[in-house]
Structure 1
């Protein structure tokens, strides 16, 4: 693992994960889940294989798990966003929505020239940029999909 990714992980643990915990999420990097009476919500962080960026995916299912598909019969704590195929979305910054950009950049990719490690504030700012998206995109998306999970 390169140093940039390690610094990004540290920032996510300090900034983003506590915000997930405050919202009732359990789990550990890269997968988190939350049970509610109406549904189960999921958040996953996926780092780019070449480094330097990551995406945040969200999904949800009925509170007792998916009725069909690869995750059927698994406990909620064992599921993550990868079980939901097209039933998941990626969070994206509003400015990047038009271009379809969904990657949060924090450092160079393996095929780019080396760059010096940034101060912790750089990585913390990337992690902090996710916080408003929990309210403006994730919570709204989960709530809008709650109806499809009503039984």
Structure 2
């Protein structure tokens, strides 16, 4: 008798699963693509990296820098550790590079966006959303579509606004507001 009850419960559960409509074609959140990280990297190398280089950046994937007289623009690709997505982080630092909290000097030719405090970086995402939901999701969208979207974002005129650099090279590991607190004021003249 007990096994018959278990069997009925199991059949009922399977019937309930079968009764749930398959929305995978209409609901983009349930659509999973079989695109690997290496496929996405290949697309980025073909369509986005050439644009980055034409814009004056040097470096190798995933870290790029554009060294200027007054500042260094930093651009880094970060992939979701769980797979299926990436984000681009941008930052700016002084032209001399930065000094870490431990006192190590990182020259402008080696500094990465990740070396600066998170408040000094900006994430380039498809849309504002919590967690990794706003990231470029290649588990939901075609790599070519994501590359086109990213190129549009990178070309926005106000993308780098508000990134500084603010403060001395030895303050880049601090949040912007904290660096302002410890920067000595200029002497009165």
Task: Give the shorter-chain TM-score range.
Answer: 0.7 to 0.9
Gap change, CA 1:85 and 1:149, over 3 Å in 2:
closer
Gap change, CA 1:105 and 1:71, over 3 Å in 2:
farther
Gap change, CA 1:5 and 1:146, over 3 Å in 2:
same
Say which of 90, 96, 108 aligns to 1:58: 90
Gap change, CA 1:78 and 1:71, over 3 Å in 2:
farther
Report how many residues are paired.
133
User: 8 Å contact 1:65–1:71 — kept in the other structure?
Assistant: no
Structure 2: gaps (5+ residues)? 1-33, 169-189
TM-score for both structures, normalised by structure 2: 0.61
User: Equivalent residue of 2:39, what SS?
Assistant: helix
TM superposition shift of 1:6: 1.2
User: Aligned partners of 1:27, 1:71: CA distance in 2, in Å?
Assistant: 24
C-alpha RMSD of matched pairs (Å): 2.7
Which runs of at least 4 in structure 1 moved beyond 2 Å after TM superposition?
66-72, 99-102, 139-150
Q: Does 1:125 align with 2:125?
A: no
Structure number with larger C-alpha Rg: 2
User: 8 Å contact 1:65–1:73 — kept in the other structure?
Assistant: yes
Q: Does 1:12 align with 2:44?
A: yes
Identify the structure with bigger relative contact order (alpha carbons < 8 Å, sequence gap 6+).
1
Structure 1: gaps (5+ residues)? 109-117
Structure with greater helix percent: 1
TM superposition shift of 1:104: 0.7
User: Aligned partners of 2:103, 2:49: CA distance in 1, in Å?
Assistant: 24
